Amino acid sequence: MNELTGTEHQNPQSIGLDEWSSFEIVQFMNKEDEAVAGAVRGALTHISKAVEAIAARWQLGGRCFVIGAGTSGRLAVVDAVELVPTFSIAQNRWVPLLAGGYEAMWNSLEETEDDDSWIITALKSHSLTQADVVIGVTASGSTPFVLAAAEYAADIGALTVGISNNESTALTAICDIGIEAPTGPEVIRGSTRLKAGTAQKMILNMLSTATMTKLGKTYQNEMIDMKLINKKLVNRAVQMLVNMTAATEEEAQSALEVTNHDLKSAAFILLTGSTLKEAKTFLEGSAGHLKKAIQQYFHDVKELKP
């Protein structure tokens, strides 16, 4: 019999769980959750290293595939789907691959975590290359579905990142960067949708958010690359431009109209007093990085002055 990992151990403090009051149950869960941030804190060095590596691959045209089974895979989906409207990335650049596919998002297909052939076929269908990134997520650090993905990606030469909730895992041994946030025994033994899942969500948020920020998808702490696909977001964009540039609401609305609701170009125009043509030229020259485009614009203007 295999030795139990930390996430599979019985929590000695919650043995009487089935006799507790509702308040006692949620109070204990809250107390246990307090330790999750600390577990993630211990992995920050590896998380930041992964961010730098992912951003470097992205700038070479690489894609990011996030692999998981059960809760881990669903969390990968939850994070990935928000990146398209938030940062205006192509849907095929940050791709979640969940064991069991679409159906597993809605139904528990526990047996699929052992299907190591399905994920290889899926990665081959995406024509995985050395420029790409594969992030494997598994509480135990030993899920066959995830290990197979990491091994295949490593053979291809893709960057491999592992996220697990135990120490010295098989996943970490395979990956270029192993992120381990040991969350220990769960309130209910083995139910890793709880503390382990919370830690995974935090780490996935950090990886995607910090990577997009390093790529210039934010300006200050604003979502400068978001897609303005509804009235709420258009109104948010107007307020964002007002806050960032000291423009009036009318000026902000006008800039959005001139740029066909291209928020980044509108911000460039308001911050530099330039034209739409100049905005597009300098943004293209900086690979869409607004702050770098503005800095280059003012550098060039200064150079042109007698």
* Active centre residues (catalytic): 82, 113
Q: Give the contacts of 2 (CB within 8 A, at least 6 positions apart).
A: none
Q: Name the nearest CA neighbour of 224 among 283, 285, 153.
A: 283
**First-to-final CA distance of the chain:** 80
Residue type, 29: M
If you count DSSP H runs as helices and E runs as strands, how many of each does the chain have, helices first?
A: 12, 5
In angstroms, the Cα distances linking 147 to 13, 135, 162, 214, 305 are 32, 10, 9, 28, 59
Residues 241, 267 contacting (CB under 8 angstroms):
yes
Q: What are phi and psi of 288, to 5 degrees?
A: 85, 5
Tokens for 23, please give them. 């308040």
CA-CA distance, 25 to 7, in Å (whole number)? 19
Strands 94-98 and 177-180: unpaired
Does the CA dihedral 184-186-189-190 come out positive or negative?
A: negative
10 half-sphere exposure, CB direction, 13 A CA radius: 5
